[in-house]
Amino acid sequence: MEEILALVDARLRTALGEPDARAAVTFLGTDRFEVLRFRDSEGGTDVVRYVTLGMSGQPMADPSALLADPVKGPRAELVLSVRAGLADTDQVLRPLAVLAASPQVEGVVVAPGGSLDLGTPLWPGAPFSSVLVGESGGLVADLELDPPLEPVRFLPLLPMTPNEAAWKRVRGARELEERWLAHGTDLRDPRRRSVALD
């Protein structure tokens, strides 16, 4: 596990540079999870990225399986990107660690198109309490591991308002993403309103 996390840490530094902050969270009965913060300038606007480190140390197990395979299974880390300075987004560190721990705690397999719900705002005053899991391979390339281990995928998290989460449950992830695209929704705006859903 430690060897895998060292490789993940190195991949993140290669892709995003040096983190300017990191926080560790440990939940009873789980491994230690870290959340790293990276700053980036994108089109003249500062973007802050929060990335988990620790979730990929163990493979995610099929919740219907009688016994979890200690080697085989998908591995992932979570990436949240938001525009800096518009909200107190540094308070997202613990909620992100909670989401990263969900495979160990709840037997959840986190995969693109799925959603994760905290039940509370992602940070104080946030209009989002859930996220849509995006496709990997964009910002940080998948990290190949020696077989039979599956690659570590870096999954972007797209914050959803309660209305968007309800829409996604009924209509599916693809329709919500198409709606965001059609309306030019800035998914990195930590204060954005729900996209028009009528």
pLDDT digits (tens, 9 = 90+) for 164-175: 999 999 999 999
What is the C-alpha separation between 61 and 68, in angstroms, rounded? Answer: 5
Provide the pairing of β-strand 152-160 with 32-42.
Answer: unpaired
Q: List b or e across 16-40, with b for residues whose CB sees 16 or more CB atoms inside 10 angstroms.
A: beebeeeeebeeeebeebbbbbbee
For residue 190, pLDDT beyond 70: yes
How does pLDDT run across 49-83, given as a tens digit for each residue?
999 999 999 999 876 666 667 788 999 999 999 99
- From start to end of the chain, where are the E strands? 21-26, 32-42, 45-53, 75-83, 115-117, 130-133, 152-160
